[in-house]
Amino acid sequence: MSKSLYIPEGYKSALTLRETQHAIKYIKDVFQQALSFALTLDRVSAPLIVRMGSGINDDLNGVERKVDFTIKEIGGCEAEVVQSLAKWKRMALYRYGYNAGEGIYTDMNAIRRDDDTDNTHSIFVDQWDWEKVITREQRNIDFLKETVRNVVKAVSFVKRKVSLRYPVIAGSVCEDVFFITTQELEDMYPDKTPKERERLITKEHKTVFIMQIGGLLASGQKHDGRAPDYDDWSLNGDIFVWDEVLDNALEISSMGIRVDENSLKTQLAEAGAEDRMQYDYHKMIANGTLPLTIGGGIGQSRLCMYLLEKAHIGEVQSSIWSDEMISKCAEHGITLL
């Protein structure tokens, strides 16, 4: 296994396999309705594949290899499986004619072949990707925080619904979000790694939004990587909840206000990626054609494992795991789908 597998002492799933399958569908049905209502979003269809070289695929940290192939029907056209839909969604809002205060969400399925796998990471990624048009006046921290609180309220609502249907699952979600920047977190725990900082602050506050991810900290290190051409690194962050089963912080969403013409230029320069300005997507941000937006992704399997109090993401999704991980999970009563 490329990352350590955590086995909770005395763990036993609260639900049977069949109950788990029913509960997964229930969570997905209820949560997408709650999210749509909370953020005023329409559901749309989204691509699994995009043309290679289009500039639309998410580059994540810039080093992950994409899954690619050629298409016989289109003369050997090269295509890629998406890694996320961060850029595609903004283009869709423009193409579909959405206005400020309106937005979209979609089911995003991706393959991230270079991800390390453990209790919460799989090479198969499924999430609700969402994006919403905003005004220039809304490009501020207060609006970002308000949106984060609305997302957390939707999660809390679904947790209550799940507990009513399955009383054996009785936990709750803390709706009092604690906000902190990556620099404040580094100042608080200068001798800790970013992951250790995330764990410590989330254990204390239960629901945390860690802000301003992507740029260099005072130490000269990054808290975490972010592509330079979708999130504004000064107006983004990750939502963490405290997972009692795993005794650890669990990231359930990465989100943020997207780059405008100024932050795009600055971040591309900082990342040494000015060559991306050749793509239509980047040109349309620079010339003001694309709308200003806020958006993010909410992990479907991550949310299901958290709400159903599971120990492994493989208990709520079908993926590929190493023989060693399959064997160790089976040995400790963790049934992977």
Q: Which helix (H) or strand (E) holds 299?
A: strand 293-299
First to last CA, the chain: 18
254 annotated active-site: yes
Q: Which of 54, 251, 276, 319 is catalytic?
A: 251
Contact 86, 295 (CB under 8 A): yes
Unique residue bearing structure tokens 């990587």: 225
Which residues are bridge partners to 293 per DSSP? 133
Query: Rounded to whole angstroms, how far apart are CA atoms 132 and 274?
Result: 26
- Strands 124-133, 207-211: pairing is unpaired
Q: Which of 58, 126, 198, 243 is catalytic?
A: 58
CA distances from 111 to 42, 50, 77, 122, 334 (A): 25, 13, 20, 9, 23
58 annotated active-site: yes
Query: Rounded to whole angstroms, how far apart are CA atoms 68 and 61?
Result: 18
Q: Which of 112, 199, 258, 302 is catalytic?
A: 112
Task: State CA 77 to chain mean position distance.
Answer: 30
Question: Edge to edge, what strands does the sheet with 178-181 contain?
Answer: 41-43, 103-111, 124-133, 293-299, 248-258, 231-243, 207-211, 178-181
Q: Which of 36, 138, 212, 254 is catalytic?
A: 254
Q: How many helices (H) and strands (E) does the chain have?
A: 9, 11
Per-residue buried b or exposed e for 277-287, using 16+ beta carbons within 10 Å of the residue's own CB = bebebbeebbe
Q: Which of 59, 126, 232, 238 is catalytic?
A: 238
Query: Rounded to whole angstroms, how far apart are CA atoms 108 and 92?
Result: 14
251 annotated active-site: yes
229 annotated active-site: no
Phi, psi of 118 (to 5 degrees): -160, -150
127 annotated active-site: yes
Q: Residues 289, 295, 300, 301: is their CA dihedral positive or negative?
A: positive
Q: Please give the single-letter amino acid code of residue 153.
A: K
Q: Which residues have a catalytic role annotated?
A: 58, 112, 127, 238, 251, 254
